[in-house]
Amino acid sequence: MGKRELVTILTPTYNHEKYLADCIESVMAQTYQDWEMIILNDGSTDRTAEVAAAYRDADSRIRLVSQENVGIFRLSETYNKGVALSNGSYLAILEGDDCWVPEKLALQVEALQNSPAAVLCWSMARCVNADKSTVYYTAPDLQVADARFYNNDPVGSIMNIFLYRNCIPALTILLRKDVLQKIGGFKQVYHLPLVDLPTLYELAGIGSFIFIPELLGDWRNYATQVTKTYPAEMTEGFYKMALSFLTTNPVASALQMDEREIDQYYAKRMVIAYARSGRYKLIRKEYSSARRDYLKAIFGYGLVEPVWKLRAATGYFLSLFHLDVEGLARLMGKRSYTEK
């Protein structure tokens, strides 16, 4: 490995009292020790700040920045505050309910040092339940045809994936700070409660990526996550991003895609999104709101995704009687999102 570059780890966190210690300890366990961790506490109402403060007091590389809650729809402000405070040449993303394996930074720093033209490095991760006792799936899939775009070589080619989905687990990203600063920092558009995909859209046109096909972390997936409140709104935002790219970006002409193809794809995704939104709301016992989402999935977007429409109809029936949708899911051998 070449020069020991400092890595700044950006950790936005909100009410992650249960998980933050696991997150921080996974950073402290890194075999690459030249890092600083900036914990950006967005007005948590639980003991998140106390947990973070205890680790800050024990390790001078950890900083705690607390602010009044601005929420996920102003997440770019929180992230960019961390960038402004950072001292590292590289930036890593690790939200307060996620964690890394010990070799994560060492592998990725070496990869970027060996490839000066690459703007970022990313890797595989596991999607797990709240207590990490169940692995839902591993991302990305190495067997899909578009895996050939994972390194964004030629530059811009990964947009063949991004127009449909984000294949990059955010917690695996390590990027060059100077490149991020050139595009004006982290991006947030179309009222999306996230910054990763809008920022990746910008970075995809600047340089190649490095994909390391190894599992380097876990991200938790549970029904009470803030982002689980907005699956339909997020899908709508992704659709708008894709259409905007196709109609305004000169790179789009090389992708050989058209609006009709995007329209058809996102009609299917919206059915799935509303069905999932209804399910998450049932878990949170928001019965009337769940029914509204289920009805949108059943009657909206044409004759697409009949299986998901049937699931939505089942969910609608369960919501009428306040029945346990997760109990039925477990009985059928399906994934359950009940938090542990």
What's the pLDDT at 199?
98
For residue 26, what is the domain's CATH number? Answer: 3.90.550.10
- 338 occurs within a structural domain: no
Question: In the listed set 189, 220, 251, which residue is the last one of a domain according to the structure?
Answer: 220
What's the pLDDT at 334?
60
- 326 occurs within a structural domain: yes
Domain count, the chain: 2
- 139 occurs within a structural domain: yes
Print the domain residue range for 244: 226-331
Q: Are residues 74 and 194 in the same domain?
A: yes
Q: Are residues 284 and 198 in the same domain?
A: no
* Closest C-alpha to 211, from 255, 261, 262, 149: 149
Dist CA 164 CA 130 (whole Å): 27
* Closest C-alpha to 251, from 202, 324, 212, 194: 202
Q: Are residues 45 and 158 in the same domain?
A: yes
Q: Are residues 195 and 304 in the same domain?
A: no
Q: Supply the pTM of this predicted model.
A: 0.89
Q: What is the pLDDT of residues 58-71, one digit of tens each?
A: 999 999 999 999 99
Per-10-residue mean pLDDT of the chain, 340 residues long, equals 86 97 98 98 98 98 98 96 98 98 98 97 96 95 96 95 96 98 97 96 96 98 76 93 89 78 94 93 90 96 95 93 69 54
Q: Are residues 280 and 196 in the same domain?
A: no
Q: What is the pLDDT of residues 22-39, one digit of tens each?
A: 999 999 999 999 999 999
For residues 124 and 215, the answer to whether their CB atoms sit within 8 Å is: yes
